[in-house]
Structure formats: C-alpha cells, structure tokens
Amino acid sequence: MMETKNFLLLGNGKSIPFASVPELPVAEFSKVCLTSITAEKCRIAAFFAVPEDDRFILTAILGDPAAAGFRVLKTVVKERYPSLTAHYPGFNRFEREIHELYGIVPEGHPALKPLRFVNTQVGDMEFYRMQGKAIHEVAVGPVHAGVIEPGHFRFECMGETVYSLEISLGYQHRGVEKLLQGGPDRRTGFLIETAAGDSSIAASINYCRIMESLCGIGLSDPAVKIRQIALELERCANHIGDLGALAGDVAFLPTASFCGRIRGEYLNMSADLCGNRFGRNFIIPGGCRYPVDQEKAKKITRKLQTVSRELWNALDLMFNSPTVLDRLENTGSVSLEDARSLGLVGVAARACGLDADARRDFPVAGEKTTGSLPVDNYNGDVISRAKVRYEELKKSHDFLFAALAEIPENGAVISQELTPAPDMLAVSVTEAWRGELCHAAVTGSDGKFRVLKIVDPSFHNWEGLAMALRNEEIAHFPICNKSFNLSYCGHDL
Amino acid sequence: MNNSLPVFAVNFIAALVLAPLLPGIINKVKAFFAGRKGPRLFQLYSDLGKLLKKECVISSTSGGILRIAPAIQLTLTVLAALLLPMGFKNSPLMFPGDVLLFFYLLGTCRFFSVLAALDTGSSFEGMGAAREAFFSALAEAAVFAVLAFLVLFSHSWTLSGMLTGIGMDSWISFTPVLLVSLAMLLVMLAENCRVPFDDPETHLELTMIHEAMILDYSGADLGAILYTSSLKLWIFGSFIVSMLIPGNILSGWQETALSIGGVFASAVLVGIVESSMARYRFLKVPPLLISALVLAIVAMIFQLFFNGGIR
C-alpha cells in the first residue's frame, strides 16, 4: 500500500480502516478526482455517499491501472457541493444517484434528473425535446415486445434519423443496497447474486473477496481456480447468447438458432459444476459450497470440446456472412473520445478502442485470469462489440481447457457465521462479462455494513448506448441495444 | 377450351383454401435449416380459427378506417386473385388492360393498410406506414417494367394472355424470362414483407415495416389481415410459376397439380432465402428494388434487340 498526500492506494480485494482514507476539502477533492481521471488515466470504480450524523462522506474510488489498484479519497459535504459532472460526464449517474438518495445537490450539474425515481412516480420526468413540425417523437417501453426487462426510451427523430435518445430507467428499483445495509446476514449472499442475475458469479466473487478481506479468511488455491472457471462459463454463456440474439435481430436464422441452444449447453456446464445453471449459491466466503473433483472437470472438458466445435461453426457462419456484416459494420458507432469521457467499461469500452480491462488493470494476487486482448482494431460500431465478444470467447475457451485440466481436488466449505472487522473500507472489482463490476463495503463500529455499494458495468455504459444512437437510423436501435446488452436490474438495484 | 372454367374454378378455390399453408411451409423450411422442429404446417389454420372466435379491440384514437380496412383488403385481394390465370387457364374475367386493374387492386389494398396504420395514431404504425409507402413505390417501377416485358414477349394485353402466352418457345430463349422471374421474385419478397426487405418474425417494432402496421389489430380483424397476406403470397407465387412454366404442355388436371406444386415450391424458395441471409438495412432496400427494375429492363433489351437471346 503506497501512501500519498491526497489519496490512498488500495489493492483489489483489499481493505483498510475507513478513517485512514485521506479526507480532503471539497475543492481539493474535486481537483484530485478530475486530474486523476483526465490526466492520469484513472477511471471511476465507485463514487458514493456514506451518511454520518447530519453530514455525508463522499467517497471516491478511482481505478488506477498504472498502480494496479484504486485511489481512494473522501470529503465531507452537508447539502451541496460543486458538480463533477460539469467537468467530466462520467460522474453523471453517480451524482444523480447521490442526489436522489440523500438530497445532496451537485451545483452546476447539467441535467439533474431522477435516476431511479426512488422518491417519485417512476418515469415521471421532463424529457429532452426537440421543437419543430418535422420532429417525430417515439416512445418505446417500459413494456417491450420481447421477454426483456422494463425501461423507457425516448427518441427524438427527423424522418428515420435519431437526433437524441434519452433513456429513463428505474422500473426495476428494489432497494437492494438498502436491504444490504446492516449485513452480512443470511440473505446477503442471495441479494448480491440476484442484483443482476446474469452476473451472479462475478458478483459473488466480489462479495466473497470483500468478506475474506474483512474477516481475514484465506482462500485455497483450488477454490480460486474453480471460481475463475465458473466466471468464464458465465462469460461464455452470456457472450454466446448475445451473439445469437444479434444474429436474430438481423434475421440471420442459423446462428440465432444454434447460439440459443449452445448457450443452454454452457449454462448446463455451470450446473454440472455447481448444481445451478446460473452459479447461484455456489461461491461463498472462504471457498466454494460444493466439492469439485477431477471427474467433474473431465466431464465438463468433454462437453466443452463437443459444444465448442459447434459454437465456432455457428459463429463463423455469422462473421463470414456478407449480409450480416453489412448490417453490423458502421452501425451504432461510439467514438473513442466519447467512450473515454462517458467512462465506458468492459466490452463496450474495448470495442471503442478504449483499453480498459480489470483483468489486467486490477489483478488480484494469486488469481490467474484469461488476460486482456488488444483493442487496436475496433472502431466502436456494432460489429466491434460483436468481435470483442468473439475474441473473448476464444480466450475463455483456452483458459477453461487449461484450468479444467489441472484442477486439483477441492472439498466443500460450509458457510459459517462471519464477523467483518469494524470501521473498514473494502473494494473488489471483477471483469464480469459486460465489464468491470465493483463492490465496495464500508463497515460500522459493530462490523455491520454501513454501505455495500454495487456498481454494475451497466451503470457506466447506458449513456454509451444513448450516444451510439446519435445520427443513427431508428431501425438500428435494436441491434445497438443488443450489442451493448446492458442490465436494467443491475442499474436500478 | 371448354373445360377451362372448371379447372380455373378448382384452382381458384384451391388458392383460397391452401393459401394459409404457405407461411407454414416457409416456417418449416426455416426450421429445417435452423435444426429446429418449428411450428406445425397447419399452424396458421389453427391461428385463424382461434382469432375468428376472439373479439376485436379497436384503438380509441381510431376514426373508423381501422375497423373497415381488413375487410376491404381481403375483398380487394380476392378480386385480384380472380383476375390471375390459375392452373394455366385464363381468368374468366379477363379483358385487355386488366393487368393494371390487377396491380392497382393490390395497390388500393396497400393504400388502405397505410391509411389504417395512420388511423391508429401510434408512432410505430406511422413509421411502418411511411416505410411501406416509400418501398412499394419503388417496387411498382419494377412491376411495370416486368409487365412491359411481358407485353413485348406475349403480344397480349390481358394478364391471362401474358402469363399463359409464354409457351414452349420461352424455354428456348430462356434468358429474358429467367431475368424477369428473378425481378418478380424480388418484388414478391418485398411485397410480402419477407427477408431481406422485412422480417415477418421480428418482435422489434422499430425495425418493422408491414408488421408495424398491423400491431393494433386483434381478433377476427387480425385473422383477416393474416389470411390476406397469405393469399397475397399465393398470388405472387402463382404469378411467377405461370410465367416460368410454359402452359399447354400437359393435360388440364396435371397442369393444376403442377401449378399448385409450383406455388409450394416458391414458398420453399422463400424459406431458403430467409434461412441463408440476414435482412438488409433500409438504405440497401431501394438499390435492391431498383436492381429488380434493371433486371426487367435488361430482359426487355434482350427481347427487343436480340429477339429473345443472343444466338
């Protein structure tokens, strides 16, 4: 841990006493945050308020790839502070969230609208509107035609061209973070896993890292490997589902049908590993709940060999089809500058050529990951987002075959009563299939969670989707949306 | 031809009865290519039976056209089918220039579907209507180029004469007829909202053309719309089959079998096209329709200057 004047450096999955985080005056805090991001290539991992008596401690956790860790710093505010969004748009949703939860006003925020409608009727807000007779306003959702989550999209169009898209979410707000306060208790693990149910493994890995750090539990080497295997199976299943859905949206039948089935096979492999297709209730603090032995690993390897051949066939068909490429190329482009200033993460960021990858940037000691991929060949369009997924699938398969081959016997761990250390701050980031998923916990004097903050990759990326639709045909919205495939519930919490 | 009227009648009734099979065939072909089982061949019959029993819910913003449009469309399409030669037998209603009536019956049918879509006041339907009107205007150019060729080729001014007049000699000078059939196949795909022009299976309102226009229909009205579009598919399939296969080479009932089988084959072809390519982006639709026009013009050039082919 390296100490500097303005901030403290914290490793991924590590914890420190909350009191030791440097507390800066508001102006100084803003300056350090903004220079870290704009000049020193940091990115926001989490930005949240911790209520304390009649004041609030604004805490910033900024990922610093150069230092392979997180810069943490805090400041104390009462009712208002100068907005950071005005200088760096990546803070937009974070500041709106804090405003909505605690009424703290970021002065000078360009569009201080409700985020999840915690206090008001959901969807009830002033939308951005264009004036003029030729303007065509299209409202989509919150109820959609497919079996997807609810969200409202407001397009301002002229003819077929979209000039502005405003995304209004909050329909899935369940108050997960509020329920997590006062934990850990018996429901905490379940809440964490289902905050965004398609990233259960990544979320439970994060939570367990935080708990292990706070409670001082060590983790066996096999358990680390098995968690990584589960994570990659989750990544594969979701990427395959996305690529298939993308093919479906451009009416390319073969890949759509095959991927739909093949995704199921990967979910079934997760079930082979731990008894649940989504990896629920498998990863617990201190290890894994169910034993994994070589016989199991061999069974999964065999299945993977068969299914992966079919997978490459189905995907190559799509990526070699001129009609598909024509639809996906130069559609829904997001520029590198926009990606950087919006603070995009994960697949969406890398597809814009923004080299943000938590696997390389924030490594955890003792964990071997798939590693990162070069991002130079992407230009931010739908095909780039599809190709990033394709390349990641290749990497994940290499990793899975290698990891499954050398899996040692690992016994089950039974969950036990755990008491986290009091007055600590712990941070964990995992590169989930969408992008970096961050969990940050602040414990009280009794060792209970004062705050357990979840920052889903979707929280960073929704604005990227809105940007992708600028000057794009409205008919391209579905494939743009699918190419991002962001989580509604992960955003709404 | 004394026995032509009964043969026509049988073929006409077969068209009305068997039309709902075509979407079933297309879906079965698509399912085959996708490695799935797919919906039943007779699924549309069950759907129609179910829809006829249901009540219609009408949008409260509608001014009334929405209510009458399905019946008008169904009537006009059946009338158009009556003008088409069936089973290689002339239509009893044929008259010189009936081809214009034929295509403008279908055009009026579209006019009402566009009007009804605007009548709902939904933004999705408005978008669908605008797209449909634009693309069908382009398809019309291709249709009339095809007709001009057929007039040149058959020296007939009736639709029946044009299509059944293509005799065995068309097989000798095959090139222009093949080009025109290809042009007509493109028009068929466009007019019937199939891939690569439109995606009849999609649930994504923002990408829809025809499907967007029928979002507000329910019950028997929706049944009428679905039946009408299957009949339209039959009409176009039958058009191409009559054009491609020379008449008067087989006896009456064999021709009937050949004609119906040909329409089924055209549905299989549509299914194969849909299974093997993605849908085009809207910007690529006009060039594709214009290429149909160009194909027809090239066929005309062959006919006019090379007398049906380069020998």
Give the whole-angstrom CA distance, residue B250 versus residue B269. Answer: 24
- pLDDT for residue B1: 47
Instruction: Indicate whether B258 belongs to any domain.
Output: yes
Q: Do B280 and A477 touch (CB under 8 A)?
A: no
Q: Do A323 and B123 touch (CB under 8 A)?
A: no
Find the residue in A nearest to B196 (Cα): A251
Residue entry with tokens 């196949």: B185
Which of A258, A324, A476 faces B278 most closely, judged by CB atoms? A324
- pLDDT for residue A144: 87
Which of B203, B275, B282 faces A145 most closely, judged by CB atoms? B203
- pLDDT for residue B170: 64
Residue A242's identity, in one-letter code, is D
Flag whether residue B124 sits within 8 Å of chain A, measured between CB atoms: yes
Contacts of B275 in chain A (CB under 8 A): 253-254
Q: Do B34 and A256 touch (CB under 8 A)?
A: yes
Contacts of B206 in chain A (CB under 8 A): 138, 140, 474-475, 477-478
Contacts of B204 in chain A (CB under 8 A): 145-146, 249, 478
Q: Do B207 and A247 touch (CB under 8 A)?
A: no
Q: Where are the beta strands (DSSP E) in B195-311?
A: none
Instruction: Walk along chain A (493 residues) and give the pLDDT tens digit of each residue.
Output: 344 578 888 999 999 999 999 999 999 999 999 999 999 899 999 999 999 888 999 999 999 999 999 999 999 998 899 999 989 999 999 999 999 999 999 999 998 999 999 988 888 888 999 998 888 888 987 988 888 899 999 999 998 899 999 999 999 999 999 999 987 888 999 999 999 999 999 999 999 999 999 988 888 778 888 899 999 999 999 999 999 999 998 989 889 989 999 999 999 999 998 889 999 989 988 888 888 888 888 999 999 999 999 999 999 999 999 999 999 999 999 999 999 999 999 999 999 999 999 999 998 888 888 888 888 889 999 999 999 999 999 999 999 999 888 887 777 777 777 888 999 999 999 999 999 999 999 999 998 999 999 999 999 999 999 999 999 999 999 999 999 999 999 999 8
Residue from A162, A253, A310, A331 to probe the interface with B (highest B Cβ count within 10 Å): A253
Q: How many Å lie between the alpha carbon of A311 and the closest alpha carbon of chain B?
A: 14
Q: Do B278 and A247 touch (CB under 8 A)?
A: yes
Write phi, then psi, for B134 (nearest 5 degrees). -65, -50
Find the residue in B nearest to A245 (Cα): B202
Q: Do A257 and B36 touch (CB under 8 A)?
A: yes
Contacts of A326 in chain B (CB under 8 A): 278, 280-281, 284
Find the residue in B nearest to A257 (Cα): B34
- pLDDT for residue B171: 66
Q: Do A327 and B279 touch (CB under 8 A)?
A: yes
Q: Do A326 and B282 touch (CB under 8 A)?
A: no
A198-457: what fold? Answer: Cytochrome-c3 Hydrogenase; chain B (1.10.645)
- A452: nearest Cα among A437, A442, A465: A442
- pLDDT for residue B311: 44
Residue from B132, B277, B280 to probe the interface with A (highest A Cβ count within 10 Å): B277
Q: In Å, how far are A53, B7, B42, B211, B275 from B52, measured between CA atoms?
A: 66, 30, 16, 19, 31
- pLDDT for residue B173: 67
Q: In what order do the strands lie in the sheet with A161-168?
A: A135-140, A152-158, A161-168
Q: Do A321 and B278 touch (CB under 8 A)?
A: yes
The range of the structural domain enclosing residue B98 comes to: 4-305
Which residues does A contribute to its contact with B (CB < 8 Å)? 136-140, 145-146, 160, 247, 249-254, 256-258, 261, 321, 323-324, 326-327, 331, 473-478
Whether the Cβ atoms of residue B237 and residue B185 lie closer than 8 Å to each other:
no
Q: Do B206 and A140 touch (CB under 8 A)?
A: yes
Give the whole-angstrom CA distance, residue B15 versus residue B10. Answer: 9
Q: How many Å lie between the alpha carbon of A141 and the closest alpha carbon of chain B?
A: 11
Find the residue in A nearest to B272 (Cα): A253
Given phi > 0 = left and psi -120 to 50 = alpha, else beta, which region is A393?
alpha
Flag whether residue B43 sits within 8 Å of chain A, measured between CB atoms: no
Flag whether residue B34 sits within 8 Å of chain A, measured between CB atoms: yes
Q: How many Å lie between the alpha carbon of A85 and the closest alpha carbon of chain B?
A: 32
Whether the Cβ atoms of residue A484 and residue A464 lie closer than 8 Å to each other:
yes
pTM: predicted TM-score of the whole model, two decimal places: 0.90
DSSP A381: S
Q: How many Å lie between the alpha carbon of A243 and the closest alpha carbon of chain B?
A: 14
Q: How many Å lie between the alpha carbon of A473 and the closest alpha carbon of chain B?
A: 9
Contacts of B126 in chain A (CB under 8 A): 136
Give the whole-angstrom CA distance, residue A211 versus residue A428. Answer: 10
Flag whether residue B273 sits within 8 Å of chain A, measured between CB atoms: no
Instruction: Indicate whether B17 belongs to any domain.
Output: yes
Establish whether this prediction's ipTM goes over 0.95. no
pLDDT digits (tens, 9 = 90+) for A233-259: 999 999 999 999 999 989 898 899 899
- pLDDT for residue A409: 77
**Taking the CB of residue A169, how many other CB atoms lie within 10 A of it?**
28
Contacts of B123 in chain A (CB under 8 A): 136-139
Which of B203, B274, B280 faces A253 most closely, judged by CB atoms? B274
Flag whether residue B133 sits within 8 Å of chain A, measured between CB atoms: no
Q: Do B281 and A324 touch (CB under 8 A)?
A: no
Inter-chain Cβ pairs, chain A and chain B, closer than 8 A: 82
CATH 3.30.460.80 in chain A is located at 8-107
Q: How many Å lie between the alpha carbon of B287 and the closest alpha carbon of chain A?
A: 14
Helix, strand, or coil (residue A446): coil
Cis peptide before A142 (omega within 30 of 0): yes
Instruction: Indicate whether B311 belongs to any domain.
Output: no
Give the whole-angstrom CA distance, residue B244 versus residue A225. Answer: 65
Task: Kindly give, in sequence order, each residue whose CB lies less than 8 Å from that of residue A230, ignoring residues fewer than 6 positions away.
Answer: A201, A270, A273, A274, A279, A282, A283
- pLDDT for residue A247: 93
Instruction: Walk along chain B (311 residues) and give the pLDDT tens digit of each residue.
Output: 456 888 889 999 999 999 999 999 999 999 998 888 999 999 999 999 999 999 999 888 888 899 999 999 999 999 999 999 988 888 889 899 999 999 999 999 999 999 999 998 888 898 999 999 999 999 999 999 999 988 888 888 899 888 887 766 666 667 788 889 999 999 999 999 898 988 888 888 888 888 889 988 999 999 999 999 999 999 999 999 988 887 667 776 888 888 999 999 999 999 999 998 888 988 889 999 999 999 999 988 888 887 654 44
Q: Dig out the tokens for A142 from the structure.
A: 């919150």
Q: Do A136 and B35 touch (CB under 8 A)?
A: no
Q: Do A326 and B199 touch (CB under 8 A)?
A: no
Q: Could you tell me which CATH number the domain at A8-107 has?
A: 3.30.460.80
Given phi > 0 = left and psi -120 to 50 = alpha, else beta, which region is B121?
left
CATH 1.10.645.10 in chain A is located at 198-457
Find the residue in A nearest to B30 (Cα): A253
- pLDDT for residue B7: 86
DSSP A293-321: -HHHHHHHHHHHHHHHHHHHHHHHHHHT-
Give the whole-angstrom CA distance, residue B308 versus residue B302. Answer: 5
Give the whole-angstrom CA distance, residue A203 versus residue A199. Answer: 6
Q: What percent of chain A stands above pLDDT 90?
A: 68
- B227: nearest Cα among B109, B84, B117, B62: B109
Instruction: Indicate whether B310 belongs to any domain.
Output: no
**What is the domain count for chain B?**
1
